[in-house]
Amino acid sequence: MTAPASRAAGFTLVELLVAVTLFALLSVVLFGGLRFGMRASEAGTARLDWSAEVAVASGFLRNQLADAQPLEKDSGEGGKVVAFDGESDRVEFVASPPAHLAAGGWHVLRLERERGPGGDRLVVSWRLVRANPGESAASSAQRSVLLERVTTIEFAYFGVLTEGDAPQWHDRWRDAAGLPALVRLRLGFADGRQAPELLVALRAAAPVWTAQPAR
């Protein structure tokens, strides 16, 4: 008897369809994992960039606020007050800015919230303190953006605002005889994130003593 002819080697159409389907499913899974990994990497990079940006701005604010000087100015009523003007959303004070911003001398620094094309932002501006009070310095004012997409800026000031009162937190500090002992800043952003609370002790401020209860 003759042996039956062997079937030609190869794949059937069903086997090819199954292989192509499995390859397509595997490609989808791998591509999805790759996209997820890329998104996670981008999100992590964005968080690091945001943290670094906030850290740099916080370091600048801490150094400048801590260096605020108790220079006096006329109160307009024949007396003298310290040149420190603080509100809940802005603050203006006298300090010496870094060398890369200004070339020496006392400057009036102003921190405030400003409208921008992409949302609100925290801006610092500075101008040189003039020896002649009648000389205008508005034309020489310079500015720089510290943080973008800011939705909340809350300054608060701790100290004795009125002589005889106990030290406490205030949402404004104007026409005072001295600097606040502490300045607090809280920042919120458009994406819902909150910057770590910034608490700064002013080196030139008079010490604040809290009365202790009698024993």
Question: pLDDT value at position 211?
Answer: 39
Question: pLDDT value at position 139?
Answer: 43
Question: pLDDT value at position 110?
Answer: 95
Query: Contacts for 108-114 with beta carbons within 8 Å, 24 or more apart?
Result: 108/83, 108/137, 109/64, 111/61, 111/146, 111/155, 112/153, 113/89, 113/150, 113/153
State how far the Cα of 112 lies from the Cα of 107, in Å rounded to an integer: 16
Q: Decide if 42 contacts 50 (C-beta within 8 A).
A: no
Question: pLDDT value at position 102?
Answer: 67
State how far the Cα of 30 lies from the Cα of 38, in Å rounded to an integer: 12
Q: How many CB atoms are closer than 10 A to CB 192?
A: 7
* pLDDT by position in tens, the chain (length 215): 555 555 555 668 777 777 778 877 877 777 777 676 667 666 567 677 888 899 999 999 999 999 999 998 887 776 889 999 999 999 999 998 887 776 677 899 999 999 877 779 999 999 988 655 555 444 467 889 999 999 999 999 999 988 888 899 999 999 898 999 999 999 999 888 999 999 999 998 866 544 333 44
For residue 141 the two structure tokens come to 């004012």
Question: pLDDT value at position 132?
Answer: 57
Question: pLDDT value at position 133?
Answer: 52
pTM assigned to the model: 0.72
152 CB-near residues (< 8 Å, 6+ apart):
186, 187, 188, 189
